[in-house]
Amino acid sequence: EAQAGDIFELHRQGELRLSVYEERPQGGLFGTATGEYFDLAVALNVFEAFFRNHTERVFANPFSDIRFRTCALKWPGGVHRFLPAGIYPNGSSEPGAAWMYYYDRPTEPYTTPPSEEDLQYVCDELPDIKRIAGMRQTLDCVLFQLAPTQGPLRITPREFSEQLVGLLVEQGPAAVAMALDRCRIHGVQVG
């Protein structure tokens, strides 16, 4: 069980990440991110629309929660966002008071081991299967936030080149082909 002193020590060692969520999200691909943990309560029609508009491959993806969050937060008509009130030991509360969610996990990037799915991307230009697994996960995670939530799942060639492929270190023909394939797999058209 963590104590306040443990958290201060982790902060001193640079082991904590700060994720801030504002009442009014900012623009850009990631905007003001909700962070890794989030709670949503949605109407049944929002939930049904998500399942109706996405493929089985999206549901099976480890980042399907990010796609669901993106769809819910961009739902037409808006979303009501809130931060919990600060609760003091005596039971009184202060709306908007600072609060913290702490969980004990290393601050290493999230990646899963390579899978059979990654073997199709191995080539002279991309020989490292572990690197390919990381690229696949990056592409899927960004694509799930980039693709529109209403209407056809389509991104522009500029979004594809600047916001999807543009985030990768490798940007050669094999990486572009991999990004196009990830779009195809998840039902997102480019153009």
Which amino acid type is present at position 78? G
**Average pLDDT of the segment spanning 129-151:** 89
pLDDT, tens digit, 9 for 90 and up, residues 45-84: 888 988 998 888 888 888 888 888 888 888 887 766 555 5
Residue 176, classified by CB atoms within 10 Å of its CB into exposed (0-12), middle (13-18) or buried (19+), is middle
The residue among 125, 129, 113, 120 whose CA lies nearest residue 173 is 125
Mean pLDDT of the chain: 77
| pTM, full prediction | 0.63
Give the DSSP H or E segment for 190: strand 189-190
